[in-house]
Amino acid sequence: MTIKKLLFGTAFLIGAAGTAQAQYTKDVLLFSQGDNGGTARFKAMGNASTALGGDISSITGNPAGLGYFNQSDISVTGRYLNNKNKTDYFGQNTISSKNNFNLDNAGIVFHLPTYRNGGNLETGWLNFNVGIAYNRNYVYNNLLQYSGINTDNSISHAYADQLNSPNGMNGWGQEIYNNSYLFDFDKAYQNPYNPIVAGANFDGRNGLKQVNSILEKGSKSESVLSFGANYSNKLYLGAALGFTAFSYDNSSWFTEYGQTMNVAQMTKANPKSDFLKPGAEYASKREMLDKDYELYDDYAQVTDGTGVDFKLGVIYKFTPTFSMGFTAKSPTFMSVRDESYSNSEFRYFKPNEDKSFKEYRTSDKAGYSYLEYNMNTPYKLSVGASQVFSSGLITADVEWVDYGAMRFKDAGAANKTLEKDMNQNIKNAYQGAFNARIGGEVLFDNVFSGRAGFNYSGNPYKNADYTNYTASVGIGAKLGRGMYIDLTGAYNAVNYKESPYTIDEDFWNTASPAADIKNQRTNVVLTIGSKF
């Protein structure tokens, strides 16, 4: 099952109300995603940091790791991102990509020892360190494009599903039916509204040419204040308070090129159709038969939000070289503002003519939606272990994320039904998932080190195929006088299916179209820091 089909259902999804609810369901997950971020060193080790400390990444990872610091530290991390999509839509392959440079992380740790001169440096509370960091934990910048010849159905079938749904002829539906001239009405059927699409392209070949483009912009970041303490170099405790902010822009353009039915096809489909009736009052419909058409379905969304969360962490050294760690992160309690626009445009052409003879575009009011709401992201529980050797270390984490516990709430008294439906959609669509991370570091000498890691993210969807993994390698060098530099390359691949629209498959006896997507994110991360 495709992800969009799972989220959006098959009964109706086009039109202002349907599109908005569908997008909210998707957004709850989108705005819940993100990693702990941090330095190039920990990214190279797959971000497996639950049982490690002594790195700026501990501020946003396991705050207990701040207790490892025996001197202050400051660092800045930049990232280059190449986001590439390879798609297959009805056998046609398309490649699209988008590049981005940004500040990924900046942090500082203040080492605050608690012992007095001449005191015992091995037992008791040895330090109480404070860390402050800015972390960009998700970049939304993405360009997804695909096209192909659909021989199975048309987006007009999804429109018809909306028209035939309860209250489907209110607002948007009434506009589409009265002005697009693409739908016939036959009261003899339970679903009386049907498109007059012939299923042929401009050149008369079977199938409809369809093109879809989705452009996403924005990012999600957090500012974190963390505290970590060291007890007898064995027990490390930490707590963190995070403040999240995000902005997200989504623009999509779907285009379909096809032909309307000719007289013979219309007569076979519905001999009593208004498109066949004589008389001046039906002339505007009769002239729509046997025409080429272009159908544009556009969507634009601007969303921003802020939130707060907290995290508790602990690391315990069972031996001087073996330790285990645990973190518990609360949901991020977010306030969100969402504004969206959807429009449909129809252009009709006489055969072999480039200039359209009829055009119609839905009103801005029919496709406008604005909503302020609150949402809770999933809580997260992580456990990890690390083993230090004379020439390096190995570390591993397992994390549980309960995506089914996400919540959509406080959308206002007028939207109680929407709130109830949204939370039911979340329960139906999402599930808890385990994430696994493993990494290691090798010390080549007193200056240079090498790292590698692997990160697997579990499937958040109940009934959709989804794979997500990241492989990373990196190197580091100590430059003297406390200075250090780390460089990491990370390759992330996500495989999934995406539908430009969904239809009532049982009624139309055909499957919703789906593009096979392979999203590849290549990151190059550079950290420069200094201990003082």
Using alpha carbons only, what angle is made at residue 245 by residues 398 and 7, rounded to the nearest 5 degrees? 65
The whole-number pLDDT of residue 9 equals 33
Q: What percent of the chain stands above pLDDT 70?
A: 93
Range of the domain at 172: 3-531
The whole-number pLDDT of residue 142 equals 93
Convert the pLDDT of each residue in 190-228 to its tens digit: 889 999 998 766 555 678 999 999 999 999 999 999 999
- Cβ neighbours of residue 258 under 8 Å, at least 6 residues apart? 154, 197, 198, 199, 200, 201, 202, 208, 209, 292, 293, 295
* Residues 472, 441: Cα–Cα separation, whole Å: 12
Q: Is the confidence at residue 401, as pLDDT, over 70?
A: yes
Residue tagged 């590049």 (tokens): 99
Mean per-residue pLDDT, 491-508: 92
| CA-based nearest residue to 231, from 327, 109, 131, 317 | 317
Mean per-residue pLDDT, 469-494: 95
The whole-number pLDDT of residue 464 equals 83
Convert the pLDDT of each residue in 351-370 to its tens digit: 777 777 888 888 777 778 88
44 in Cβ contact with 116 (< 8 Å) = no
Q: Is the confidence at residue 283, as pLDDT, over 60?
A: yes
Domain count, the chain: 1
Q: What percent of the chain stands above pLDDT 90?
A: 71
Convert the pLDDT of each residue in 82-126 to its tens digit: 999 999 999 999 999 999 999 999 999 999 998 766 667 788 899
Residue 115, strand partner residues: none
Looking at beta carbons, which pairs linking 423-430 to residues 24 or more positions away fall under 8 Å? 425/7, 425/21, 425/25, 426/25, 426/28, 428/462, 429/6, 429/7, 429/25, 429/461, 429/462, 430/29, 430/403, 430/404, 430/406, 430/460, 430/461, 430/462
Question: Considering the entire predicted model, what is its pTM?
Answer: 0.86
Q: Helix 416-429 crosses helix 16-30 at what angle (to 10 degrees)?
A: 50
The whole-number pLDDT of residue 6 equals 41
Which domain CATH number covers 430?
2.40.160.60
